[in-house]
Amino acid sequence: MIRTTARPRRRRIALPAVLALVIGLGLLTAPVIGAPSAEAATEGRMLEIGGWPVGAFRSSSGEYVYCVEPGAVEPSGAQKSARTVSSLPAYSAYTFDQSGWKGTVTSGALSGKRLRQINYVLWEHGRTKSKAKAVAVQLAVWMLRGDPGAEAWLDHHLGWVRANGGKAYIDRARELVAEAQAQAVVAVAPKPKPLRIEPDEADPTTGTVAYPAGTTELRIDGGAFDNGGELLKVSGGKAGRATWTATPHDEEWQGSRSCRSRATGSSRPPGGRRRSACSRPSSRCSNGSPRGSGR
């Protein structure tokens, strides 16, 4: 068997759908260390837009956090420590605020793609120390939550922000949403290019292996390369060939008249992680006449 590991092409950022949740308060932490503990969540990196505060809270742990429950009542007591979650619970709340909103907001549970996108926005942009940028991050998080039961609340508050000179925050938030939708994708392992093993027709205990561009090393079990070892370093980054020789076992030749070798290889196409491909050479003798086959 010959295996190869390689760097795939550089791909869009892929993040797990996991966030740090401040339990029971509908707040998610951006990975930023804040000031010492306070008694309760307070306005942190926020701006008042027409008298309505929006942006990042500062939790009692000192972390800066963003609300992921549009319309939920802001925290008023001490918070528990943040923990990692893979989903957000459903909620329903009646609320009113300085923008003139009064009504009930509901949302179903959230996981998967949209949670991953929220995570992306928080990780890539939520660590900002700018209040203006924190406003855009918070609006983007609410947009990404995207539940029909919160649509009226979100439309009302985006209208309030726009009417009070905050159109730039909305535009920036939509840019962050588009970025998250494009970039926060599930990691996909690249399909490795196979190695091509060709036993010699006259002597199936030896042959060549063709390896793809970017290969950095080849390994073989039950045999050796031209350098006499089980490891062959490859440089230059170009595709090429290497010669291998299998080491037959006496008992196999005396019994089934067959021998087998396995080899492994490593390659790194520019700009990515390792990958592997497997292929197995085999050689067989029948009635004393050698013939070779390879996969």
pLDDT tens readout for residues 234-288: 888 889 999 999 887 645 444 444 444 444 555 554 444 433 333 333 333 322 2
Structure tokens at 192: 């490795």
The predicted structure's pLDDT at residue 220 = 87
Taking residues 80-101, report their average pLDDT. 86
Contact between residue 195 and residue 4 where contact means Cβ atoms under 8 Å apart:
yes
pLDDT tens readout for residues 1-19: 555 544 434 334 334 444 4
Where are the domain boundaries for CATH 2.60.40 in the chain?
191-294
Q: How many CA atoms lie within 13 A of 185 on its CB side?
A: 10
Contact between residue 30 and residue 20 where contact means Cβ atoms under 8 Å apart:
no
Structure tokens at 25: 């308060």
pLDDT tens readout for residues 117-151: 999 999 999 989 999 999 999 999 999 998 899 99
The predicted structure's pLDDT at residue 252 = 45
pLDDT tens readout for residues 183-197: 998 877 666 678 888
pLDDT tens readout for residues 147-202: 899 999 999 999 999 999 999 999 999 999 999 999 998 877 666 678 888 998 88
pLDDT tens readout for residues 23-77: 333 445 444 434 334 454 566 789 999 999 999 888 777 788 888 888 887 766 6
**What is the CATH number assigned to the segment(s) 191-294?**
2.60.40
Does the pTM surpass 0.95? The reply is no
The predicted structure's pLDDT at residue 121 = 95
The predicted structure's pLDDT at residue 189 = 63
C-alpha to C-alpha distance for 127 and 129, rounded to whole angstroms: 7
